[in-house]
Structure 1
Amino acid sequence: MSAFLGQGGMGSVYLARSRGGRSVAVKVIRPELAREPSFRSRFAREISAAKAVNGAYTAPVVDADTDCDQPWLATVFVPGPSLWEAVRVGGAFTFDRVCQLGAGLAEALADIHKTGIVHRDLKPQNVLMSADGPRVIDFGIAHVTDLPPLTDPDALLGTPRFMSPEQITGGALSPASDVFSLGLVLAFAASDQGPFGSGSNAQLLYRIVHTEPDVSALPQGLRLLVAACLAKRPDRRPTPAELLDALGTREEPAPPTVPPARRSYTPTVWAPQGRLGTVDFASNAQALLADGLTDALVIEAAGHGT
């Protein structure tokens, strides 16, 4: 039994259950693409590489068939809002919550990179906030380092607001590119804005390549770490392992003590935070189809509840 979630340039996505009762997201490739031997061969090789990604903070591949008439891929379904939705609904995260998020994402990148994969599209829409921590999803434009590219080498793949300088300029991509994107994701989570300002895609792309990030809106304890992730030179950025070490011991500096004014009293007001709501399976298609079901598929997890 399955439920249709949506469709895009590469095929259709369904929510289904395995025979054992596990919820999975199934992507079925379009017939015309399946008839292209080069696509089918590349798809099979990338699926094989993606199956090696099985960390606690990713949504792993559970099954696939690349030899049938319409190749398909099933990944673990992750119920929960995207980071983008969580910030839009609840506002910027606290310092501690950003550190927890960053540690989970750093661990996810370490698991991804050790298999030879560069994600290339790490952004808030591709981070699901599950009950047991963030999950990195949607490897739709991921790059397997030892395979030739499937797409046009001149194509700009990624989401402009969360791309690295070398990704924008067409330079060689390495795991450090994902670290740059991670810095942008953490800045968004901590401030609900980006360190390169707002504007058109062209303006953002120019600033990412040519200007320094403005991290002044971030909590003081995160500024140096995020700025390090956003270094222009890839070899100047920390590795995911170094980020894990830093985030695990990071503490927010205590604010300066200000003596209260005489005879003044400020009551503490408690306001409960609104819940993000229940999971809407139909909205899971938004995360998968935000950029279309892009080519060079490796893996696409499906969770995107509101």
Structure 2
Amino acid sequence: MAEPAASAGPDGREVRLARAEDLADPRLAPYTTLTDAALRRRVDAEHGVFLAESSQVVRRALAAGHTPRSFLLGDRYRESFADVLAAHPDVPLFTGPDEVLTSLTGFHLHRGALAAMDRPAPRPVTDVLAGARRVLIAEDLVDHTNLGAVVRSAVALGWDALLLTPQAADPLYRRAIRVSMGTVFRLPWARLEGPVAEAVPALREAGFAVAALEVTERAVGLDSPELEPLRSADRLALVLGQEGPGVRTETLEHTDADVVISMPDGVDSLNVAAAAAVALWELRAR
């Protein structure tokens, strides 16, 4: 017997997805599977949306003031999500069994909920820096998982803002948001217009010392007494480089200091997210 077609609830708000053919609804476009992160970023920007995944992350996005366009919800999570749905009675709701939703998104819904949210307007760098004492700069950090982990550590350890180069990953990409556990909604961020080296003069003019987490000939261990002036700096910007290549040479030519994590012989390095957590703790505002 054929599966029934998609059906709407009494108020026309809820659409139940029962088969693959139901996924042609144009309102589902933001959820359509895109496995290439760069393509996903372009499409999200064109649609002016981002995806929040998991009920906890959706709740944090809403609490931060983001506006939902629609909800996509697995059947099992309807009851636990009832308060969110009641608070947004005019937002379209798409529901269905896990296998149908997975065929739409291309991945298993983490904790059963997705929301398409309006993407906020880009913030000027000057606005993000205003009042900030500790600023993290992600230079060409392209891995969304690492970026999400870095953001989570930055928020947990009291850092105030995030700057990203044009090539860096999107903080509002679904996976970056999920790995950050939604803490990205608490961290002001902005994209630089060009390389970090070009932004250093403006940072210094605003009173920031600029350091890089990178192995160089002049690098000082994070546990060294020599770093006390950096630890106690009123305003500090810390540059993290791309996985593998590290901080750009031209950036290192403009930093006030380079810092490293002291390690025993035979240990090359830490993952950038793990290394960032250590440095963010050591260089936090005191």
Q: TM-score, normalised by structure 1?
A: 0.28
Q: TM-score, normalised by structure 2?
A: 0.30
* Structure with more strand by fraction: 2
Larger Rg: 2
